[in-house]
Amino acid sequence: MPFTTTHLRLISPLIHPSSPSIRSLVSANTKPFRLSASSAAMDSNSSCMLVLSGKSLAENEIAESLKSNSTLKLPDNSEVSIHLQSEIVKQESFDVELFMNSLATNRFGRLLIWSPRLPSTHDVVSHSFNSNFCELPVGAVCVADVQFKGRGRSKNAWESPKGCLMFSFTIQMEDGRVVPLLQYVASLALTEAINYVCSRDGLPCLDIKIKWPNDLYLNGIKVGGILCTSTYRTKKFNVSIGIGLNVNNEEPTTCLNAVLRKLSDSTYQFRREDVIAAFFNKFETFYDTFINQGFQTLEELYYKTWLHSGQRVIVQEKNEDQVVENVVTIQ
């Protein structure tokens, strides 16, 4: 079924066998400065600060080049100040060292762009009216403590308060037919990353599930979402994947730590740095499998993680000028 002509609408849970698979349903020298909490108090009219750091010497050289060339821009041409992590004396927010020490990838997440406040992390890595994407290496990630113009699918706004893990990163692909499946790979990697942190640190298992096509639910309440956008240039698809996950913010819904407190007397709390590092470690493995062997090799794990088994859905297919609806049950 073509992506452009098939739509799903959930009806209600139903326990019946027989259903199609998902493939059927969705075919410089500067003086150090002190960064304090007041830096995050900028309003939407203030300049945005970007802090660059790398996992290795190679990525740090790229960061230095990005700064010296003032490469990174925002869509509205608002003022951007760029700094290197080595210039920061004090940072009361994202722990870059913790993230880098937990990261074990060869490509993804190794060049980090952090900001205390941005319109959107997606703007930094996917702005189509400047050369950000061409200058950033594949796998570069932008993380923000607060977003004031976060967005989701269908132009929906994404609430992005402090405590939420918000990041976007870059990928290049040649086969446009499999680009839509990237959101499933990212969703799966995020759920597996949370499960990994729970297992590693001896925490209760959280009931984290994927709601098709790109949302994460915890105990039946939405706590995360994935947004993929792409542009086509020089025979390649430049894909930006944006992710928002409620880690330590109980509004507007709930978060990982709120649920964890109900399950355990431990004072442990999920840290954004741990979750994002675990995500990239999982995502790189899943992505390589996806590219080399196809999504079929990840389907079994994906089905175990999504929340739709047993639900009735209406599959709408456009046949010439008619829309045909078929009721099926997801197995």
Residue type, 193: A
Type of residue found at 285: T
Instruction: Provide the whole-model pTM.
Output: 0.82
SS (H, E, C) 171-209: EEECCHHHHHHHHHHHHHHHHHHHHHHHHHCCCCCCCEE
β-pair partners for 316? 7, 325
Domain 48-330 has CATH 3.40.50.300: no
The DSSP string of 278-309 is: HHHHHHHHHHHHHHHH-THHHHHHHHHHBS-T
pLDDT tens profile 264-311: 888 899 999 999 999 999 999 999 999 999 999 999 999 999 887 777
Q: Each residue of 30-72: pLDDT tens digit?
A: 444 444 433 333 444 457 899 999 999 999 999 999 999 888 8
